[in-house]
């Protein structure tokens, strides 16, 4: 390319990565990771419960330490970058957002289901009034047409968002479907456009590049790919690929590799990989943060988590409906028991 294009990267290891660790980050770990990311030149470093501010509940899983402690830990070590937080209206509140801003957060990602941007108006407006940069996230974007995504992006733009992301929460999008969604959004709004990918179908990096080709300039990623489902776009891999393609990220490739290998990987309880359950999530279009909940429910009732996830996909469940997994697993167990007890089964 004749002129080098800058791409803004938000690293969500300390937010989306929380899902993979059952939200058990300690303040010491947060400080160590945040310092490493900052020294590597990462522009935005996101810290929150996996389900955003206020997410530490029985429904989503309790954090090991309070958000206040985790945000304070990150804020104390970030010198070059910007501390970012996630808020899902209905989980986090305006008071949570104010608390985060008081602790040094400069960027707010405000996320809604892809068809419900209107519920974010008051939170976007509050964040802007406090001087924060606002990135709107249209989650589970595979569930809506490009035209609907464009419509919802316009709403977020009207409320004051600086950027709107096509968010592949299920890791279900493929390059052609990313291309048409990002293009529709780019044509519809005057503000920045971005992409948030999950790797359930092994498409996160490829989809991110397609998004850039269609005009996206903001990308979410997680070091080591640590995140929900099969993980997110790996930051260090994305930086390497973008560097080879001639894009500028401001991130030192060697340093972000070191953060991944020496700081984040030792924290990981198990490798983030494309397993049969997380692959099923991408195939069936299921919210990536459902993975651990689905595994737990399936184990409790002795059923295959893949069967649970396929049924979840059929019901088009969204974030906040984690309790449906138990009901589905119970129903599948009952059906299996009925089949086992049927006369034809006994005769066979």
The whole-angstrom separation of Cα 250 and Cα 243 is 10
Alpha carbon distances (Å) from 192 to 214, 216, 288: 12, 7, 25
Which of 271, 278, 320 shows the shortest CA–CA distance to 295?
A: 278
142 is catalytic: no
Residue 271: CB partners within 8 Å, gap ≥ 6?
none
The whole-angstrom separation of Cα 125 and Cα 97 is 11
The answer to whether 279 touches 291, Cβ cutoff 8 Å, is: no
Could you say which of 19, 113, 142, 198 is catalytic? Answer: 19
H-type alpha helices, the chain: 17-20, 27-40, 67-75, 94-102, 121-129, 146-159, 175-188, 204-213, 235-245, 253-258, 276-284, 291-301, 305-315, 324-341, 343-347
The whole-angstrom separation of Cα 77 and Cα 112 is 30
- Residues assigned a catalytic role: 19
């Amino acid at each position: 390319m004749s002129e080098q294009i800058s791409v803004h990267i938000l690293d969500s290891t300390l937010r989306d990565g929380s899902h993979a660790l059952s939200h058990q980050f300690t303040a010491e770990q947060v400080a160590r990771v945040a310092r490493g990311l900052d020294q590597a030149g990462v522009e935005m470093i996101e810290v929150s419960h996996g389900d955003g501010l206020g997410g530490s509940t029985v429904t989503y899983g309790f954090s090991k330490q309070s958000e206040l402690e985790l945000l304070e830990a990150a804020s104390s070590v970030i010198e070059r970058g910007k501390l970012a937080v996630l808020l899902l209206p209905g989980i986090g509140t305006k008071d949570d957002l104010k608390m985060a801003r008081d602790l040094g957060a400069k960027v707010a990602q405000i996320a809604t289901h892809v068809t419900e941007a209107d519920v974010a108006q008051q939170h976007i407006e509050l964040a802007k009034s406090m001087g924060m940069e606002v990135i709107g996230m249209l989650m589970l974007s595979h569930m809506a047409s490009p035209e609907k995504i464009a419509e919802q992006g316009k709403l977020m733009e009207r409320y004051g968002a600086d950027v709107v992301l096509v968010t592949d929460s299920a890791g279900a999008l493929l390059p052609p479907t990313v291309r048409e969604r990002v293009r529709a959004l780019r044509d519809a709004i005057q503000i920045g456009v971005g992409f948030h990918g999950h790797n359930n179908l092994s498409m996160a990096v490829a989809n991110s590049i397609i998004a850039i080709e269609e005009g996206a300039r903001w990308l979410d990623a997680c070091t080591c790919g640590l995140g929900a489902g099969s993980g997110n776009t790996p930051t260090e891999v994305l930086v390497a690929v973008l560097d080879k393609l001639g894009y500028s990220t401001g991130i030192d490739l060697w340093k972000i590799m070191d953060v991944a290998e020496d700081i984040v990987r030792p924290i990981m309880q198990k490798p983030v990989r494309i397993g049969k359950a997380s692959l099923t999530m991408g195939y069936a279009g299921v919210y990536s943060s459902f993975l651990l909940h689905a595994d737990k429910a399936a184990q409790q009732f002795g059923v295959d988590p893949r069967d649970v996830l396929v049924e979840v996909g059929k019901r088009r469940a969204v974030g906040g409906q984690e309790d449906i997994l138990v009901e589905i697993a119970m129903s599948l167990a009952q059906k299996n028991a009925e089949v086992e007890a049927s006369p034809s089964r006994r005769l066979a």
